[in-house]
Structures are given as C-alpha cells and as structure tokens.
C-alpha cells in the first residue's frame, strides 16, 4: 500500500510540473515573439562559458534579489549606450533575464539589433531560477530567500522563497 501511495505522489508531482511548464510556455507564447533563443536555468547554472548576465527588471526588484554577478540594466530606463560601452565585444555570450522572460526578451532584442550575436533570454527568468532552488542574492551580495515578484498578480509564478512585491 505504501508503494502505491508513493507512486501516486510521484505521478502527481510530475503532472503538476508538466502542467506548470505548459502554463509557462503558454504565457511566454502570449507575450513574446521568440526572436531571442531561450536558455534554461539548468543550462545557465552548469554553463562553463564566460557569460555576462544582465538583469532587465527595475531597481527595487534587483535590490531584493538577483542572480549572482548579474549586472543591473533595468527595463523602463534601459540605456543601450551604457551596454555598448560596458560590453564592447559583440561576440560576448550574454543572458538577459527578468521575472519570467518577457521584459528580458525586449532588452535582448535591442542588444541583437545593436549587433550582439550571442544573446539569450533566460526561460522563466528569476522565478524559474528560484523555483529550481538556485541561489539568489540581495543588494549586499548575500544569499537570500526573498524574491521580488513584481506584483501580487505575477507572484503566482514564483513557487519558492519569500515573496516581496510593491503593490
């Protein structure tokens, strides 16, 4: 009986993960054009390449939580000129992320149009990163369980950590 219960539990968890993945796929298809290739959080986490990570969220989001060594570039006030000065090598591997991968696609497209050749969008953004239990850091560069979820409505996509939002 215990084996059946354990098997049922495992199957339910797998079904929930698949359903969640499908829902995220649908959300990203609704908002994105898929002009920028995605990279999964797992691929980024194990990447051995020299990759620059850009955070395309707003300052208050970045201060609460961000990926280690991510460079804040913002979204509303994104300035391409700063990036071209900071990252002159147009062949540089760059991953852009936001909360889920919507704002980051816009910023990544601007980089592509400026001639950057190796730009990727982090699939599921920082929410998916934290959902997979990868570390995030606060403004003091210390690990944190807090995750800025942008708003209460968008917070449903953040399944792990302490949700923080500005509404």
Q: Convert the pLDDT of each residue in 87-143 to its tens digit.
A: 999 999 999 999 999 999 999 999 999 999 999 999 999 999 999 999 999 999 999
Q: Any idea what the CATH number is for the domain that residue 74 is in?
A: 3.40.250.10
User: Which among 93, 89, 96 has a CA at the least distance from the CA of 72?
Assistant: 96
Whole-angstrom distance, CA of residue 47 vs CA of residue 37: 16
Cβ atoms of 105 and 32 within 8 Å: the answer is yes
Total length of the chain: 167
Q: Do both 77 and 136 map to the same domain?
A: yes
User: Of the ranges 14-23, 66-75, 105-114, which one carries the lowest mean pLDDT score?
Assistant: 14-23
Determine whether 98 is an active site residue: yes
SS3 at position 128: helix
Q: Are residues 53 and 8 in the same domain?
A: no
pLDDT at 10: 41
Separation CA 98–CA 56 (nearest Å): 5
Q: Which residue has the tokens 């970045």?
A: 62
Enclosing domain of residue 1: 1-31
Catalytic position from the list 41, 52, 94, 98: 98
pTM of the predicted protein model: 0.84
Cα 88 to Cα 116: distance, rounded to the nearest angstrom: 9
pLDDT of residue 17: 44
Assess whether 14 and 92 both reside in one domain: no
Residues 26 and 57 in one domain: no
């Amino acid at each position: 009986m215990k084996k059946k219960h354990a098997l049922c539990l495992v199957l339910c968890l797998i079904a929930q993960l698949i359903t969640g993945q499908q829902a995220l796929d649908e959300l990203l298809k609704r908002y994105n054009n898929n002009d920028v290739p995605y990279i999964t959080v797992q691929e980024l986490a194990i990447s051995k390449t020299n990759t620059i990570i850009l955070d395309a969220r707003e300052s208050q989001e970045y201060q609460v939580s961000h990926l280690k060594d991510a460079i804040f570039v913002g979204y509303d006030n994104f300035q391409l000129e700063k990036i071209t000065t900071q990252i002159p090598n147009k062949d540089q591997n760059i991953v852009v992320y936001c909360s889920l991968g919507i704002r980051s696609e816009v910023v990544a497209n601007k980089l592509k149009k400026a001639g950057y050749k190796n730009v990727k969008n982090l699939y599921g953004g920082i929410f998916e990163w934290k959902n997979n239990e990868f570390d995030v850091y606060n403004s003091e560069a210390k690990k944190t369980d807090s995750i800025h979820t942008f708003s209460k409505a968008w917070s449903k996509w953040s399944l792990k950590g302490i949700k923080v939002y500005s509404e």
